[in-house]
Amino acid sequence: MIIIRDDKKIARYRTIGQVASFTGMGALIVGMALIFIGDPQTVFYWQLAALLVGWMLSQVGIYLAQRYVRRPRPDQVLDEALEKVGRDGRIYHYILPAPHVLLLPSGIIVIVAKYQGGQITVQDDKWKQTGMGLRRFFGQEGIGNPTREAENSVAAIAHFLQKNAPQIEEVPIGALIVFTTKGMKDLDLKGSSIPAMHYTKVKGFLKQQSRAKLPAADYEAIRAAFDQKAGPLAEGVELVSL
């Protein structure tokens, strides 16, 4: 499998996430400390502003940290999950309009990576996360709607190909929702219209899928469009031989 990853973007967002986290924490501390300084009526608005800025920066830090700071990162877990079933594939991390895109001879799979913990259930594409306690408000981003994220990612890749490979009439684009947290057990994902699973199940799922190969000309056009977007990164690709 060929891995094409924007390491510079990862490093940049990692730095931004760390700076946002520390700055946000500092602003929260200042906001709390202001209550002991001067007239409470005078410092109230300064305290409120400091707490608001601190909270916002902390949320930005959490968002970026979960994607670019924590180890293993989502892209690294996906590489592990795909290493045997993606033997003939090319995976693009943080390069295309969707964060993780797997190109196979049979088509494209857009992967939505989710790290959230707790007990996660989905019914009729309505997602619910419980068992988080205070972590629901501090230290972890909510589950959101992975179904909508997957649909938006598929649409973004389709639009990208319409613009950059217009000669292709129809391209099969699938989607997977993959939970990358190791040791996670509380998942009830049968109610998702888009295949959703823990990363340890990806290999078995993809092995069961039988898909016809794309016409060679279509595959090469897609690869060329993706690699052009990757630029020099596609020249120094990381090849994982399995």
Q: What's residue 48's pLDDT?
A: 83
SS3 at position 166: coil
Nearest CA among 146, 13, 3, 15 for reference residue 75: 3
Query: How would you list the strands of the sheet with 238-239, edge to edge?
Result: 196-198, 173-179, 107-114, 100-104, 90-93, 2-5, 238-239
* Low-confidence winner among 26-30, 161-165, 189-193, 238-242 (lowest mean pLDDT): 238-242
User: Which of 26, 54, 69 represents a domain boundary (last residue)?
Assistant: 69
**Which of 22, 40, 69 delimits the end of a domain?**
69
101 with 166, same domain: the answer is: yes
Q: What is the pTM of this model?
A: 0.85
On whether both 55 and 111 belong to a single domain, the answer is: no
Residue whose token pair is 């020249």: 235
Residue 101 has pLDDT above 90, yes or no: yes
> What is the Cα–Cα distance from 108 to 33, expressed in whole angstroms?
53
Instruction: Mark whether 42 and 90 lie in a shared domain.
Output: no
Average pLDDT over residues 112-118: 86
* Residue 192 sits in the same domain as residue 107: yes
Tens of pLDDT, residues 139-162: 567 788 999 999 999 999 999 999
Q: Which amino acid is at 2?
A: I
> Does 36 share its domain with 52?
yes
Asked if 45 and 100 sit in the same domain, the reply is no
Q: 18 and 134 share a domain?
A: no
Q: Are residues 65 and 77 in the same domain?
A: no
Q: When comparing pLDDT for 187 and 226, which is higher?
A: 226
pLDDT band of 242, cuts 50, 70, 90:
very low
User: How many domains in the chain?
Assistant: 2
133 by Cβ neighbours in 10 Å (0-12 / 13-18 / 19+) ranks as exposed
**Structural contact between residues 146 and 124, judged by C-beta atoms closer than 8 angstroms:** no
Mean pLDDT taken over the chain: 86
17-74: per-residue pLDDT in tens? Answer: 899 988 988 888 888 787 777 666 677 777 888 889 988 998 888 888 888 888 889 9
pLDDT score, position 241: 43
236's tokens:
């120094």
* CB contact at 8 A, 176 and 98: no
For residues 35 and 91, membership in a common domain is answered with: no
* Domain carrying residue 59: 5-69
Does 236 have pLDDT greater than 80? no
Mark whether 134 and 182 lie in a shared domain.
Answer: yes
Q: What percent of the chain has pLDDT over 70?
A: 91
Domain end marker among 30, 48, 69: 69
84 and 55 in a common domain? no
Per-residue pLDDT of 196-225, as tens digits, reads: 999 999 988 988 887 788 999 999 999 999
Give yes or no: residues 44 and 123 share one domain.
Answer: no
Output the pLDDT for position 51: 86
Q: What percent of the chain has pLDDT over 90?
A: 50
